Amino acid sequence: MTREELADSRGINRTVYQPAEDSRLLFEAVKKAGYGQLLEVGTGSGWVARRAALVTDVDAVYASDINPHACQVTKAQSEVDIGVVQSNLTSCFLEGVFDTVAFNPPYLPTDESAEWDDWMEQALSGGETGRKVIEPFLNVVGRVLNSEGIVLLVVSSLTNYEKVMNYAETRGFDHTKLIEESYPFETLTVVQLNNNS
């Protein structure tokens, strides 16, 4: 089966990540704990950001993605005012401006020699360990949080939950499990990270 046939069989838009169970869980976490100025990193189709703007009490919503197609889709489908920015993680944002940063990272462990090298692959692939994007995110997200800011992060058991949490601790974050659901091949957890420094 070609990658196009595989994508078609899954109903996947081959350029933009579409909402799935992990998206729903992140949105539930935003409803539960999100506040103030919210940034969704890696917004994909913008589903979480748009719903957050419509049905939560956050003050303002911003969405970013490295994928220009994702930014276009998010802007085109937004029923409300959302600031959409093409950005690699948090690189284009000022220091200390967000109360909440939400992220459903690419986390599927993949053989990097067999990657498709397209936008869909970037939306899914977490490299050999599943943590190729998670660790760089944890390295930089603290810069854009204000002193009371929080991170809402989707973590899959495929990435080794304990290793992700240990790494978060080395970057100055305490963690609390907000939501957890198990599926046949993985457990998904949304954690709240609080800056402890």
Summarize pLDDT for 136-147 with one digit per residue, the tens. Answer: 999 999 999 999
- Give one DSSP letter per residue of 103-143, joined into a string: E----B---GGG---SHHHHHHB-TTTS-TTHHHHHHHHHH
DSSP 91: T
pLDDT at residue number 14: 66
Instruction: Report pLDDT for 9.
Output: 39
- Phi/psi for 158 (5° steps) reads -65, -20
pTM of the model: 0.86
pLDDT tens-place string over residues 139-170: 999 999 999 999 999 999 989 999 999 999 99
Looking at the predicted structure, is the pLDDT value of residue 127 above 80?
Answer: no
pLDDT tens track for 27-86:
999 999 999 999 999 998 899 999 999 999 999 999 999 888 888 888 888 788 899 999
> Percent of the chain having pLDDT more than 70?
83
How confident is the model at residue 52, as a pLDDT? Answer: 95
Could you give the count of Cα atoms lying within 13 Å of 143 in the half-sphere of its Cβ? 12
Return left, alpha or beta for 11; rule: phi > 0 is left, psi -120 to 50 is alpha, else beta: left
